[in-house]
Amino acid sequence: MSEPLLDSFVHDESRVAYHLAGDGPELLLIHGVGVVGASWRPQLEGLADGFRMAAPDLPGFGASELPHGRPSVEGWAEAARALMDHLGWERAHVAGHSMGGLVAQQLALAHPRRVRSLALLCTGPRGSELASISLANLPLAVGSFVGTRRMRRRAFMRMVLSPRAAREDDLDAWAERFVPIYGRDVASPAPRLRMQLGALKDFDRSAELGGITAPTLVVSASHDRIAPPARGRALAAAIPGARYEEVDGMGHALPVEHAAFVNGRLHAAFA
């Protein structure tokens, strides 16, 4: 199979990079905080026979330029819509992970005719909830910023992986595996992380979720430290007709750690 194509276009006077792969119905993949479009690599590779996929680096992330002014979830959704325009996609299935789930919600609310269906993974109804750190997660969150490089890597991996994958012997190998997927060594803070989290905290359209008309699948992971299942259940309850699934034993990095499951669910939801 050929490598995903990396290309770019200009939106709002800024260059937006995106990965393009596969053939079939159009599928837009929207990443979360601190990562890039390549975080969808397991899907770009695993679903290439069934979908024509685009995974942007949202403005201010990865290879995409930061536009003038402060970034926002609304602005990221408009960049996603502009990518669809650039590719000539009238409508598309849309999958969003973590913060990308909020961007996907905004896209569905602002441009309902452009969204064929939604898959919202490891996310919730409010940006402030995803951007906050619980007391239970505070030691790992602090640990991902202090100490040796190896200590920071291991703390970050414990934050996002399932308990099974986060066994002591596996953490270093997982951290290496995440470098090309996350676009950075996880021991180093993501560029512009504070600005990204600020935009996320400002976003709350939870009272309007009843206006989403696209068929929606919400998937949570039972051991997700960042978006616990209660938030996924609340999100599904707020969207008319949404289906909810909870994956036992998994963590926030569900699309990477359990890619075969996620690929199967996306294929079933969007086929």
Split at pLDDT 50, 70, 90, the class of 107 is very high
CA distance 217 to 69: 33
- For residue 209, give both structure tokens: 């979720």
Split at pLDDT 50, 70, 90, the class of 268 is very high
What's the average model confidence in pLDDT over 177-185?
88
Exposure class string for 138-156: b at 16+ Cβ within 10 A, else e? eebeebbeeeeeeebbbbb
pLDDT of residue 94 exceeding 90, the answer is yes
3-state secondary structure 145-167: CCCCHHHHHHHHHHHHCCCCCCC
Nearest alpha carbon to residue 27 among 11, 4, 8: 4
CA distance 106 to 260: 27
pLDDT, tens digit (0-9, with 9 covering 90-100), for 26-57: 999 999 998 999 999 999 999 999 999 999 99
- Residue 174 pLDDT: 93
Residue 76 contacts residue 36 (beta carbons within 8 Å): no
Q: Considering only residues 164 and 87, tell me which one the structure prediction assigns the higher pLDDT.
A: 87
Find the farthest-apart pair of alpha carbons in the chain and give their distance in angstroms, rounded.
Answer: 49
Split at pLDDT 50, 70, 90, the class of 3 is low
pLDDT of residue 1 exceeding 70, the answer is no
Distance of CA 5 to the CA centre of its chain: 19
Quote the mean pLDDT of the chain: 93
- For residue 29, give both structure tokens: 């993949």
What's the average model confidence in pLDDT over 219-223?
98
Superfamily of domain 5-132+193-270: Alpha/Beta hydrolase fold, catalytic domain (3.40.50.1820)
- For residue 139, give both structure tokens: 């030691």
